[in-house]
Amino acid sequence: MHAGKLVFSQVIDHLPMHTFRRYVRRYQGDRYTKSFSCLDQYLCMAFAQLAYRESLRDIEACLRAQKDKLYHMGIRGAVSRTTLADANERRDWRIYADFAQALIRIARPLYADQDLGLDLDHTVYALDASTIDLCLSIFPWALFRSTKSAVKLHTLLDLRGNIPTFIHISDGKLHDVNVLDILAPEPAAFYIMDRGYVDFQRLFRLNTAGAFFVIRAKSNTQYQRRYSHPVDPASGVKVDQTIVLTGVGTQNDYPQPLRRIKYYDPQTGKTFNFLTNHFAMPAHTVADLYRYRWQVELFFKWIKQHLRIKTFFGTSENAVKSQIWIAVSVYVLIAIIKKRLQLDANLYTILQILSLTLFEKSPLEQILTVTDCKIQDCESTSQLNLFDNLTGQ
């Protein structure tokens, strides 16, 4: 793959270009295009992600400084900030959304055998949402509050590999729980959710579809105990009960029994109440599953810190969605490369190395094989250590 290629080109070689061209044709992305194609746009935006560029002017200056190498990077059109801005405004964002989903379908089997540390063969997902604040006067379409705008990134994360399998981008007003109406439940899979997703009618829909859930209960949940099961207090589990809901409306929304587990976490000194529709697994495993939900929180922090979505290269809904989906595709691409090259370095380290070596011609595997070198993020070392410990990446 090397053969004197630029590092950037070696990274791009891992992309299924035939798939990308199929999506461009599907949405007629290159219709009326004379010189700057959808592929040129994607490569420029991917470069911005990998090289940590902050603005269109930044992208233009860097690429023009290496104009003799653009052809070898796969960029055929002339790079200018006006051309790139126009492409971000006009090229259908669904091209990049579908392409990111295609990369996700490639990445998930690569991480399917990753051990979660739990005696569990089921697929485990964490569902959560993250808000990206925007300026109301510049992004009036992304309504959130009377004084500001925002977009929400609703993400379903496969905890084996931390690969996002479902992403929905909405304005800030969409409540988190409404995403359950869009999500297609996977039978026998576990969905780990926080209290924001407590809606028993929607949870019963998951149950009917054959999926399992673990969710943190609200303090005002009304229920009646049916059975109490023996527990091991040393494990932190204080209560393991079979209950039925008795609240006005909730008993009709979820007419079947639920399992309630009360767990004390000695590390934080907090007590948690969990609800699940799985009655066979050990009670402490339910608590362990919920602990893994924090991986989706760390995924959001990682995405915001290390991919370029803090500042947007356009103000329209199309430009914002295009940039987010391209950022996600770059994240998944690096995850694919990590597995294909069997790299020990975590994703953060890989991105840091790539940001400095994109225009070099060394073999990719050689550059990314880190020995006797530790790279730390001075701004949030504890978060990255936690991320690395949980994912094993």
Per-residue pLDDT tens over the stretch 298-330: 777 766 665 556 567 877 889 888 988 998 999
* DSSP SS3 for 48: helix
Tell me the β-bridge partners of 262.
239, 273
Residue 231 lies in a domain: yes
41 within domain boundaries: yes
Residue 47 lies in a domain: yes
- Residue in the structure block whose two tokens are 């290629």: 5
Task: Say yes or no: 256 and 325 in one domain.
Answer: no
Whether the per-residue pLDDT at 84 is higher than 80: the answer is: yes
For residue 114, tell me if it sits in a domain. Answer: no
101 falls within a domain: no
Instruction: Give yes or no: residues 275 and 328 share one domain.
Output: no
Instruction: Identify which of 238, 220, 218 has the alpha carbon closest to the alpha carbon of residue 229.
Output: 238
* Residue 88 shares a structural domain with residue 17: yes
Q: Are strands 124-134 and 190-193 parallel, antiparallel or unpaired?
A: parallel
Q: Looking at the structure, do residues 200 and 272 belong to the same domain, yes or no?
A: yes
Boundary-marking domain end, from 276, 291, 306: 291
pLDDT value at 253 more than 90? yes
3-state helix, strand, coil in the chain (%, to 5): 45, 20, 40
Contact predicate 308/53, CB 8 Å: yes
Query: Domain for residue 255, yes or no?
Result: yes
Interval 351-380: pLDDT, tens = 889 999 999 999 999 999 865 444 444 444
Same domain, 320 and 381: yes
201 shares its domain with 286: yes
Do residue 210 and residue 268 come from a single domain? yes
- Mark which of 259, 291, 323 sits at the end of a domain: 291
Domain boundary among 291, 326, 341: 291
Q: What is the predicted pLDDT for the residue at 383?
A: 41
Looking at residue 3, its pLDDT comes to: 59
Q: Is residue 156 part of a domain?
A: no
Q: Are 218 and 204 in contact (CB under 8 A)?
A: no
Comparing 31-35, 153-157, 299-303, 308-312, the range with the smallest average pLDDT is 308-312
The structural domain count of the chain equals 2
What number is the average pLDDT over the span 246-256? 92
Tell me: do 80 and 29 sit in the same domain.
yes
User: Quick one: 203 and 269 in the same domain?
Assistant: yes
| Residue 308 CB-density burial (10 A; 0-12 exposed, 13-18 middle, 19+ buried) | buried
Domain extent, residue 205, equals 195-291
**Are 279 and 333 in a shared domain?**
no
pLDDT above 80 (res 272): yes
Q: What is the pLDDT at residue 2?
A: 52
For the stretch 209-249, pLDDT in tens is 999 999 999 989 999 999 999 988 888 899 999 999 998 89
Note the pLDDT of residue 295: 74
Whole-prediction pTM:
0.81
Q: What percent of the chain has pLDDT over 90?
A: 47
- Kindly state whether residue 266 falls inside one of the protein's structural domains: yes
Per-residue pLDDT, averaged over 273-277, amounts to 94
The answer on 324 and 280 residing in a single domain is no
Taking only the tens place, the pLDDT of each residue in 48-69 is 989 988 888 999 999 999 989 9
Query: What pLDDT sits at residue 387?
Result: 38
- pLDDT > 70 fraction of the chain, expressed in percent and rounded: 89
For the cut 80, the answer to whether the pLDDT of residue 120 exceeds it is: no
